Structure 1
Amino acid sequence: MPSALETLVKILKLERDLGCADKAVIGGLRAFAQNWVKDAHAQARKPEHHALVDELAGLLSNYTDLSGTDSRDQAIKYMIGRITGRVAPSSGNLPVPPTPPVTESVAEPVPESIPTPDASPEVIDPPQPRRDPPQGRNPFREKRLERRPRESQPPPEGNKGSKKETERETYPDRGGQRGRPAPSQEPEDAGDDLFSKGGEIRPTDDPYAPFTGSVINIPQTPDPARVFRPPRKARAPRDQSREAAYFRRLDAPITTLKGIGPKIGEKLAALDLHTVRDWLYLFPRRYLDYTRMTPIRRLEPGQLTTVAGTVRNAVIIKGRRGVDVLNVILDDGTGTLTASFFGQPYLISKFPRGEQVVFSGKTGIYQGRITLDNPEWEPIEQEALHTRKMIPVYPLTKGLSAHAMRRLSAKVVGMFADDMPDYLPQSVLDRLEMADLGWSLRQLHFPDSEEARRHARQRIAFDELILLQLGMLRNRRVWQSQPGLALEVQDQWLEGALAALPFQLTGAQRRAIEIIREDLARTLPMNRLLQGDVGAGKTAVAAAALLIAVMSGAQGAIMAPTSILAEQHYRGISRLIQAMTRSLVPEESENPQSGEPLVKVALLTGATPAAERAELLAALREGRIHILIGTHALIQEGVEFERLGLAVIDEQHRFGVEQRGALRGKGTNPHLLVMTATPIPRTLALTVHADLDYTVLDEMPPGRTPIQTRLLTSGEREISYRFIRGHLEKGRQAFIVYPLIESDENKESRAAVSEYERLQKEVFPDRRLGLLHGRMSPSQKDGIMNAFSRGEIDVLISTTVVEVGIDVPNASVILIEGANRFGLAQLHQLRGRVGRGQHPGFCILLPDGEGGTERLEVMEETNDGFVLAQKDLEQRGAGELFGTRQSGEGLKMGEYMNPALVELAQLEARTLYAEDPDLSLPEHDLLRTQIERIFGVTSGGDVS
């Protein structure tokens, strides 16, 4: 570990960076000196070393009394100079604190004992200023905000003792200097005095002698050239035959490449790599940045860096909050640091003593020692180390190593990237100063520098946005080129129907109904997105729209993603329709001959019996069923409407383009209303849903109690279990949601299947538990969800399949494990499963480990889904939010799509669309081809 003098140098530098305000350590430098001087004297070997310690202790004690920044800065420079040997002892020129007035002296009481290490001041991490917890948080929350406890690891049994001071050795490979033994010669007691953060001072180390040599030989190479503007090359004249040949090769199976046979092809298929194009767009998950290699001795807190070294030791300690912490001590010959992995004890087998590894992450400081928390890591690749490059890290599958993936990627990128025809017009690239497509693909796989990668990333993210925008605009144009039915009702009629509802509509609901009514009255088919938070009242708006269609002589349909959601809509829509029609024409609300309601609502799912299904379909064809509600069964063969005028799709992001088109194909260009509770910022919604008009319900019905959310730590899991038990005893129900199905998918996270068994045996043995996950068949899922809805299950253990489709008014608590692995918008959707009845709702968030929880704090502060979605966009990019995209390909760069880039793509897409709607100009030929490849070729029919 760093010596006492090295620690002091780092603290002095931090104090200088903080403006000489005596805030580098809690309590100030005077308090710090009390414990530091003891450690420093213990490490000193010579009389002059002890003299230096005494001199520095006096300077530290007087530092607080110095007035003015200049005086303190001069004192810091002097102390650092004395430690490094660059400055001779002072001859009296140092600033001194002002002399206090002469008063009668009173002796200060002598402390009875030396303060313990636990009482030593704590170093402040400057990038993470301490915040006071908001008012109203529970005591567990406030305890979590305290700084990391000081923990020490007891020495392993049998490893007591250490080398004597006289047993010093010289190592020829380090220039004959005395220093640390090489990793292969590490003494058995190397881990005896490990702290929970940092390493140990061993008697064989002279803390006052400079480090020499290096365990890892890091060559000194010049920094890569700055890339202020991406390079561009002149475009060659178009050669359509060459382009056609290139695209044929691009879409050829990956196994057609030399060196990639059927066996490797099978392994690549597990990564969804089938063609050359697939590989070019399989971007690395992350990079190991060998261009930022920094000797450990030169590290400063808050620094993004990559360090390479040799593992001196690896130990597991039990954190105070019950978290297993793996501490890996890395030595690069200039110093040591501790890399801590929270909740990942299984990694210890990856770090045997002597293993050479590289860590990447942001440095912190704890008790004066440089640390890395949960860094990215990988065994050292010697070639990359000596060439100082950024090394891509790809997703892996069984039988393919990281090195093999890099080698194959270099082959594919080298053969195809540079010759990739650029489909964006030259004018767009010139105007936006964007990089060429081929250069961008190469730089995303094998970047020359971080700046080059940033330019490449921006180009690919922009491409995905503008292609999506152009594709959606094209779909909208084709859809509205065919006339639809005009569905009109009188003002008096509509007002009477709405007044008959058993609740008061919000202003937002009334505005949405009026906008939809105006759309339905036109022959131009409506294509509208209705977006509203959980509980905002979208169902009532849909019911009013369906009734307008029916009373205008047409039929309506609602398609939901799950059977249970379809059944919920059936019950809710039937109740609302019956109330509105009975109020309007009470004497005609039922057919006098059959006793059936005036507006017949029916339900069709995959579970509908064959005989009932046949009767239902016949009534639908004859127009005797006015509103049909169902699942994917609505778009199956044999489902025919007499006159479908309005199609409503709920939770539309669960349906693909083909399914939406199939439902609209059941009528003659019917009006379309799609609904979602997924909050998306307006800017993003106008891109991902550019083919839809946009209406938002931004007002909640009165009387709805906000859900209370608490963020706990993994060590407080038992508290959450006790809270759930309390609600179960009151007759309520609860959800426990996990990010994974099986535990072997990611050992860092708890998983639904294994936790279901544990919870049933150990935590809730006297309760009825149910298990729900995405690998179950539809009938199994429906059975579990229906049992939970009927109250036959007390606690539902589930994955995120409960995000949509569960409405259980009796459920009052949801516990979300691994909460840091979800986006804020998705967490908001999940917590919307509770508090839907008369009982208040409670949401408990339990993150994995201790990292990445800061962004979750906003969940405690707001129940506004749109605020959370905007936070997601700002913090994590559009990756989470673009999960709603329903065109042909997934977005690779969603997390890098910031609001400014989204708006830029919208502007350019609309400019191109206004100039050339069909993209028929020669310079737009490749762009049109790319859009057709993604969205399909239009022929005047339905495309959405």
Structure 2
Amino acid sequence: VVLSGRVSLFRGRYVFESPEWELVEGGELIHTGRLVPLYPLTQGLRPRQVRKLMKQVIDQWAWQVEDFLPPQVRERCRLPELPRAIAQAHYPEDEQAKDSARRRLAFDELFLLQLGVLDKKRDWQEKQAGNPFDIKAAVLDAFINSLPFELTGAQRRVTEELLADLGRPRPMSRLLQGEVGSGKTVVATAALLAAAASGYQAAFMAPTEILAEQHFNTISALLSPVGGKGEEGAYMRSYPGILSRPLTVALLIGDIKQARKQKLQQHILEGDIDIVIGTHALIQKGVDFHRLGLVVVDEQHRFGVTQRSALRQKGLSPHVLVMTATPIPRTLALTLYGDLDLSVIDQLPPGRQVIKTKWLKPPQRENAYSFLRRQVAQGRQAFIICPFVEESEVIEAKAAVAEYQHLSEEVFPDLKLGLLHGRMPAVEKDRVMRRFRSGELDILVSTPVVEVGIDVPNAAVMLVESADRFGLSQLHQFRGRVGRGEEQSYCLLLAQDPSEIGRARLDLIERIQDGFQLAEEDLNLRGPGEFFGTRQSGLPDLRMARLSDVALLELAREEAIGLFQLDPGLEMPEHRPLVNELARVWPKAGEWS
């Protein structure tokens, strides 16, 4: 008999604490004297039973599993064969064998994931001929020189990356990341101008009508110094001084009167409009382009892949630029947006102030309210975010209304407050945001819908209730809603009784201003599944791999890229097992059958 367990002293004698035992019958030990697997159990099953059954299954079947990984990949990456990895993952000889097995199984998941997302990109770029733009350097130089500020080094680098892509004979497919205020819009405007100068139309799609309107005004203001005075309308503006013909920019959103909308749609179809800025209205039936060459999508995670694809269908293989102000860790960017090339504006314009961030305890609530009142008295405005985590949006909306009434009647009865929540009609949301932006409201009480929000330069205070309920990236997004003007801005975080992870988050957001650093910390704290608040769909599940393992993910990506270079269609006979495995892992892809 073999006994195995923790030994301790009891009344002067050595004793086993709950030992495992096993009869020595000449075979391999399963329960003792080795690294022993722990399996989840259901009622009526005992660990010894499951271990014995699993050992029989592994011994009989693991060695019959076909290894789909090409031998050269396995050898380069120093990975064990798949049958051995499966066997050693369950019943390892030692710690090194266990780690090697787990590394192989994790690599497989990441390798298959990368092959899938890279195939999407290859399918888009290589199976469809692109429209190479004839980049007019003189036009772009005139635009950049007319700006009332110097581009940062990062903006210049990313602009060059975009223009290089636009000049190639395959469609651009690029993700542009940059903090709030890093200057993504001016870079996107250079790309829009490059399209128009090459004789193509460009579409810019924003997640909300008020953001579309903001982009319309911002892009118009950027083009105005170089373009000169032309037609200035609420929905269409032209600039005669940029190209050999007037450059026309239009706004197409849902609340435009039908007659005007039809007129705009006709102008788009006939090619009279160069740059169209809008919302989902751009992908609706009835909006057809004369010669769509570039699509810019703002805040990608607010749009599904379906919407992105629908806009692409409106042009003959247009170039696509996706922008986000949500800092995404490199590993997640390579995974979730692996079909896109990555550009990062990792530098803020000079003079942008640090937003003073403070975590406040419950007794300091009145101090926070007093501080907010003083800021309003000085002519500033403020946000108050209420994180109502309820069973349904209806209950959440009721809770938001109750909190708004409490604040407006009992805390700030002399100030003008507005309310924003997810159940409000889009028209009402826009009306409230316009009142806040114009200064009619002192304080905007909101549920987290303000995360992707409007630019209000006069807003100087962000007060977040129950801040420990939010992830770091979301808190950083809230903080980015203020600090857009010249005044010092503040982010105040109230938390009643935060958990250990909640305290860790609040400590980090108080200390760190860099969104990309916070995103990495957020990924480590919460894991990839929760990073965007809801689980991403359309990607295979990861059981063994961790997205925090940057080195293994990048190794898998390198090998996937190399394999497609060697065998673009995976048609070599030795790659048939891999094709079969891809069809199993990506059942909806359709390319692997």
Residues 594-609 of structure 1: pairs in structure 2 closer than 5 A: 598-609=246-257
Q: CA 1:908–1:614 in structure 2 vs 1: closer, same or farther (change >3 Å)?
A: same
In structure 2, the residue matched to 1:771 is 419
Question: Quick one: distance in 1 between partners of 2:103 and 2:388?
Answer: 32
Q: What is the distance in 2 between the residues matched to 1:609 and 1:453?
A: 66
Q: Is the 8 A contact 2:468 2:498 kept in 1?
A: no
Q: 1:894 to 1:873 in 2, by over 3 A?
A: farther
Q: Which residue of 2 aligns with 1:500?
A: 146
Match of 1:874 in 2: 524
Q: Does the CA-based 8 Å contact 2:113-2:539 persist in structure 1?
A: no
Amino acid corresponding to residue 530 of structure 1 in structure 2: L
Counterpart secondary structure, 1:470: helix
* Counterpart amino acid of residue 538 in structure 2: G
Gaps of 5+ in 2: 1-8, 22-30, 51-61, 91-95, 231-237
What does residue 114 of structure 2 align with?
Answer: 469
Cα drift, residue 85 of structure 1: 9.4
Give yes or no for contact 2:229–2:240 (8 Å, CA) kept in 1. Answer: no
Provide the residue aligned with 1:547 in structure 2: 193
Amino acid corresponding to residue 117 of structure 2 in structure 1: M
Residue identity matched to 1:515: E
For residue 933 of structure 1, give the secondary structure of its aligned residue in structure 2: coil
State the alpha-carbon separation in 1 of the partners of residues 49 and 533 from structure 2: 33
Greater relative contact order, per chain length (Cα 8 Å cut-off, separation 6+): 2
CA contact (8 A) 1:876 1:895 kept: no
Question: Quick one: structure 1 residues 470 and 844, their matched pair in 2 at CA, closer, same or farther if it must change by over 3 Å?
Answer: same
2:18 matched residue in structure 1: 220
Instruction: State the alpha-carbon separation in 1 of the partners of residues 34 and 349 from structure 2.
Output: 53
Is 1:626 matched up with 2:274?
Answer: yes
Equivalent position to 1:897, from 547, 558, 568: 547
Letter in 1 for 2:345: L
* CA gap 1:426/1:545 in 2 versus in 1, 3 angstroms: closer
1:565 aligned residue: 211
2:367 to 703, 719, 724: 719
Q: Match for residue 576 of structure 2? A: 922
| Counterparts of 1:437 and 1:797, CA distance in 2 | 58
Provide the secondary structure at the position in 2 that maps to 1:600.
strand
Task: Go from structure 1 to structure 2 and tell me whether the alpha carbon gap of 1:623 and 1:458 turns closer, same or farther (over 3 Å shift).
Answer: same
Deviation at 1:626, TM superposition (A): 0.8
Identity %: 49
| Match of residue 512 from structure 2 | 862
Q: How does 1:800-815 map to 2 (within 5 A)?
A: 800-815=448-463
> What are the Cα deviations for residues 59-84 of structure 1, in whole angstroms up to 9, with x where unaligned?
xxxxxxxxxxxxxxxxxxxxxx9xx9
Matched, 1:641 2:289: yes
In the alignment, which of 574, 592, 614 is matched to residue 220 of structure 2?
Answer: 574
Q: What is the DSSP-based 3-state SS (H/G/I as helix, E as strand, rest coil) of the residue aligned with 2:456?
A: coil
Maintained 8 Å contact 2:174/2:342: yes
Deviation at 1:887, TM superposition (A): 5.8
Deviations 1:898-933 (A, max 9, x none): 134433442443354345433443202332313542
- Work out the CA distance in 1 between the residues paired with 2:285 and 2:332: 35
CA distance in 2, matches of 1:823, 1:653: 16
Q: Is the 8 A contact 1:529 1:675 kept in 2?
A: yes
Give yes or no for contact 1:497–1:583 (8 Å, CA) kept in 2.
Answer: no
Q: How far is 1:473 from its partner?
A: 0.5
Instruction: Pick the aligned partner of 2:538 from 876, 881, 888.
Output: 888
Q: CA deviation at 1:646?
A: 1.0
Aligned residue number for residue 234 of structure 2:
none
Alpha-carbon deviations, 1:639-691, whole Å to 9, x = none? Answer: 11111111111111211111111111111111111111111233442333222
1:727/1:733 contact within 8 Å kept: yes
Q: Counterpart in 2 of 1:524?
A: 170
User: TM-score, length-normalised on structure 2?
Assistant: 0.78
Deviates more, 1:890-899 or 1:859-868: 890-899
* Amino acid aligned to 1:823: G
Larger Rg: 1
User: Do the aligned residues in 1 keep the contact of 2:582 with 2:592 (CA within 8 Å)?
Assistant: no
Cross-structure match for 1:780:
428
1:143 equivalent in structure 2? none
Report what 2:180 is aligned to. 534
Q: CA deviation at 1:636?
A: 0.7
1:477-534, CA deviations, whole angstroms, 9 ceiling, x for partnerless residues? 1111222222123433322221111222112112222222222122222112211111
CA distance in 1, matches of 2:82, 2:464: 42
- Shift in Å, 1:878: 3.1
- Mapping for residues 146-545 of structure 1, pairs under 5 Å: 220=18, 222=20, 425=69, 432=79, 465-481=110-126, 482-545=128-191
**For 1:892 and 1:727, how far apart are their aligned partners in 2?**
48
The whole-number CA distance in structure 2 between the counterparts of 1:642 and 1:469 is: 36
**Alpha carbons of structure 1 residues 383 and 844: separation in structure 2 relative to 1, 3 Å:** farther
Q: Deviations over 1:785-805 (max 9, x none)?
A: 233223333322222221113
Verify the 8 A CA contact 2:528 2:547 in the aligned structure 1: yes
CA separation in 1, counterparts of 2:204 and 2:302? 14
Task: Tell me the equivalent position of 2:477.
Answer: 829
The size of the alignment, in residue pairs, is 533
Alpha-carbon distance between aligned partners in 2 of 1:814 and 1:829, rounded to the nearest angstrom:
11
Distance of aligned partners of 1:616 and 1:927 in 2 relative to their CA distance in 1, 3 Å threshold: same
Q: Can you list the C-alpha shifts for 1:100-151, whole angstroms capped at 9, x where unaligned?
A: xxxxxxxxxxxxxxxxxxxxxxxxxxxxxxxxxxxxxxxxxxxxxxxxxxxx
Read off the aligned partner of 1:531 and give its amino acid letter: Q
Pick closer, same or farther for the CA change 1:473–1:459 going to 2, 3 Å. same
**Equivalent residues of 2:401, 2:419 under 8 A apart:** yes
CA contact (8 A) 1:656 1:887 kept: no
- Measure, in 1, the Cα distance between the counterparts of 2:496 and 2:431: 31
Query: Counterpart of 1:867 in structure 2: which amino acid?
Result: Q
The structural deviation recorded for 1:826 is 1.9
Structure-1 residue corresponding to 2:316: 668
Matched residue SS, 2:148: coil
Verify: 1:843 aligned to 2:491, yes or no.
yes
Q: Secondary structure at the match of 2:342?
A: strand
Look up the SS of the partner of 1:840 in the other structure: coil
The answer to which of 476-485 and 641-650 deviates more is: 476-485
Displacement of 1:757 in angstroms is 3.5
Give the conservation status (yes or no) of the 8 Å contact 2:86–2:101: yes
Q: What residue in structure 1 maps to residue 302 of structure 2?
A: 654
Superposed CA offset, 1:589-630 (max 9, x none): 8569xxxx9211111112222111100000001111110001
CA contact (8 A) 2:579 2:592 kept: no
Deviations 1:410-443 (A, max 9, x none): xxxxxxxx9xx99964868895459889989x99
How far apart in 1 are the matches of 2:339 and 2:461? 38
Q: CA deviation at 1:830?
A: 1.4
The DSSP-based 3-state class of the residue aligned with 2:290 is coil
Does the C-alpha gap of structure 1 residues 823 and 895 become closer, same or farther in structure 2, counting only changes over 3 Å? farther
Alignment of 1:36-115 (within 5 A): none
Unaligned stretches of 5+ residues in structure 1: 1-80, 87-218, 232-286, 291-380, 391-417, 444-450, 940-944
Q: How far is the alpha carbon of 1:851 from its aligned partner?
A: 2.5
Note the C-alpha offset of 1:696: 1.1
